[in-house]
Structure 1
Amino acid sequence: MKRIKNTLSQKWPEYLLEILVITIGILGAFALNNWNESRKEEIKTQKLTEFLYEELKEAERFAELNLNMNQEHIEFYRQLLDNWNRLTYDSAEAYKKNNFVSLSIYMFTYSQFFDLKDDIYRSMINEGSLGLIKNKKLLVNLSRIYNYFPPRIDQIIEQEYDLSHEINRHISYQYQAVFLDNPVDSTDWSVAMYQDFFELAQKDGALKYKIQERQRLAVTRDYLMGLAIRNIKESLEILEKRN
C-alpha cells in the first residue's frame, strides 16, 4: 500500500495526463460522430428541399394554367349574363372567335381536377423526414398547398361538373323544338338555330339562374386557386433564400 501511494505521489501528473488524453479522445470521437450525423442530415435536407422546390415549381405552373383557364370561363359567363337580353348570332360568333366557348354555347362542362403532383411531399411524410424542415411558415404553407386547397377546389369542381350536366339536361329538354326544327350535320349552329335558341333563353329565368350559379362557383374556385398560388410562391421564396 505504501509502495502504491509512493508511486501515485510520484507519477500522478503522468496518470492525469493519460486520463485527460483518453477523455479528450472519447469526447472527440463523440463530437466527430455528431458532426458526421449533422453533415449527413444537412446533405439530406439540401437534396430534399431541392426536390421539393422543383415539385413546387411544377405545382405553380399547373395552378396558374388552371387559373387562366378558369378566368376565361368567368369572362365568358360575365359577357353572356351581361348581354343576356341582347344575345344575337353575331355575339355568339364573337365568343367563338375569342375562344371563350366551343361552337355549341350550351356546353359548360369542366372536369379538370386540381391534382397537384405531391410525390416528394408525401414521401417526406412517410419517411418522417418532413421534420428536417425547420421553417414553420414553410411547413404551414406546404400543408395548405397539398392538404387544404386541392380537396376544397375539387369539391367545387365536382359541383360545377354536376351543374353543367344539369344545364345540359335543362337545355336538351326545354329546347327540343329548337334542335328538331333546325337539324345540323356538324357542331356548327345555323343562324336560325342561334336566333330561336336566344329568343327562348331570354325568357328562361331558370336557365339564367343556373348559369349565374355556375359563374359563382367559378369565381369561388378562382379565389381559392389564387390563394394556393400565393402560398406556392411564398414557399418557393423561402426555399430560394435557404439555398
Structure 2
Amino acid sequence: MNQNKTGKYIKYAIGEIVLVVIGILIALSINNWNEAQKEKLKAITILEAIRSDMLDDLEDMARYKTPWERHIMYFKRVFPSFNPNDEIPPFADIDAMSQVSYKTLFNYMAPFRYSTSAFDGMISNGNSDLITNDTLFSNIQEFYTFNVPTNENLFEILRQQSSDLNYKYAHIITYRPYKNISDLTDEYLIADLNIFFQSKNFYYSRTFVKNKKDLTDIISQIDKELKNTK
C-alpha cells in the first residue's frame, strides 16, 4: 500500500511539475509576444518620425529650389556658354537684367538644412535594430550618413570659394567697374566665376535632384513597410 501511495505521489508530483513548466512556457511566450508588440510599435513610431522629417525636407526643398535655379540661370544669362547639368526652367524676368549683380556673382544662396532629429534619436537611443527590413534601414542610414554630410561638405566648399573670390576680386567688388553685363571681360574673373557656378550647379544637382529622388524613394519604401507592419 505504501508503494502504491508513493507511486501515485510521484505521478502527481510529476504532473504538477509538468503543469508548472507549461505555465512558465506560456507566460514566457506571452511575455515575448508582448515585448515583440512593444518593439513593433516602437519601430512604427520611429519610421513614422523619419517619414515626417523626410516629408518636411521635400516641402522645404520646393521653397529653396527656385532661388537656386534663378541664381544658376542668372549666370547662364551672363555667360550663355555655361550649361547646367540639369534642365532648369528659364525665368523671363532674368532677360531684363542688364546690370551686374555683384552679390549674385560672388556670393551664395542660403544652404539647405536637412531634418535629422528622428534618425539621430534612433541612433542615440540604440533603436536601429528595431527596423528589421535590412534594405530599408540600409537606405535610410546611407542617406543620413552619406548624402546629408556630403551635401553639407559641398556647401562648405561653396562658402570657401565665395570667400576666396571676394578676397581675390575685392577691388572689383569695391569699385564696381562693370556697369553692364557685356563689359565683364576679365578672363581670369570669368574663369573663376565659371568654376564657382559649376560648384553651385553640382550642389543644386545633389540637393534638389538626386537627394529629392532618394527621399521620395525611401518614403515610398517606408509606406510599404508600415502597411505590411500594421
TM over 0.5: yes
Picking from 102, 105, 110, the partner of 1:106 is 102
Alignment partner, residue 205 of structure 1: 187
Q: Which of 1 and 2 has greater Rg?
A: 1
Query: How far did residue 81 of structure 1 move?
Result: 0.9
Instruction: Give the TM-score of the pair, scaled to structure 2.
Output: 0.78
Q: Is the 8 A contact 1:110 1:160 kept in 2?
A: yes
Shift of 1:103: 6.6
Aligned residue number for residue 72 of structure 1: 70
2:108–2:158 contact (8 Å) kept in structure 1:
yes
Aligned residue for 2:217?
234
Which residue of the partner structure matches residue 6 of structure 1? 4
Q: Shift of residue 240 of structure 1?
A: 0.8
One-letter code aligned to 1:82: P
Superposed displacement of residue 45, structure 1: 1.5
- Describe the shift of the 1:104–1:80 C-alpha distance in structure 2 as closer, same or farther (beyond 3 A): closer
3-state DSSP of counterpart to 2:36: helix
Alpha-carbon spacing, 1:12–1:62, altered in 2? closer, same or farther (3 Å): same
| Counterparts in 2 of 1:66 and 1:23: CA distance versus 1, 3 Å | same
Classify the secondary structure of the residue corresponding to 2:103: coil
Q: Output the aligned Cα RMSD.
A: 3.2
1:88-113 residue CA offsets vs partner (Å, 9 max, x unmatched): xxxxxxx7934998975221311523
Is the 1:111–1:158 Cα contact (8 Å) retained in structure 2? no
Distance 2:127 2:50 in 1: 12
Post-superposition CA distance 1:110-161 (Å, at most 9, x none): 1523321211111111110111011222222222322212332222223323
Report what 2:203 is aligned to: 221
Q: Deviations over 1:16-44 (max 9, x none)?
A: 43333222111111111111111111111
Gaps of 5+ in 1: 85-94, 180-192
CA distance in 2, matches of 1:232, 1:175: 39
Q: Does 1:97 align with 2:93?
A: yes
Residue in 2 that maps onto 1:127: 125
Change in Cα spacing, 1:14 to 1:206, as seen in structure 2 (3 Å) is same
**Closer/same/farther in 2, CA of residues 106 and 175 from structure 1, 3 Å limit:** closer
The count of corresponding residues between Structure 1 and Structure 2 is 216
Q: For residues 14 and 68 of structure 1, do their structure 2 counterparts lie closer, same or farther at Cα, with a shift above 3 Å needed? A: same
Which residue of 1 is the match for residue 87 of structure 2?
Answer: none
Q: Equivalences for 1:77-92 in 2 at 5 Å?
A: 77-82=75-80
1:194 aligns to 2:179 (yes or no): yes
| 8 Å CA contact retained: 1:107, 1:164 | no
In structure 2, distance between residues paired with 1:235 and 1:122: 17
* Equivalent-residue separation in structure 2 for 1:24 and 1:99 (angstroms): 82
What are the within-5 Å matches in structure 2 for residues 8-87 of structure 1? 8-10=6-8, 14-82=12-80
Q: Secondary structure at the match of 1:194?
A: coil
CA distance in 1, matches of 2:97, 2:141: 35
State the identity %: 18
TM-score, length of structure 1 as denominator length: 0.74
The 1:23–1:166 alpha-carbon spacing in structure 2 relative to 1, beyond 3 Å, is closer
Does the CA contact (< 8 Å) of 1:160 and 1:214 recur in 2? yes
Q: 1:50 to 1:175 in 2, by over 3 A?
A: closer
Amino acid of the residue matched to residue 93 of structure 2?
K
1:178/1:148 CA distance change after superposition, 3 Å: closer
Cα gap change, 1:224 to 1:101, in 2 (>3 Å): farther
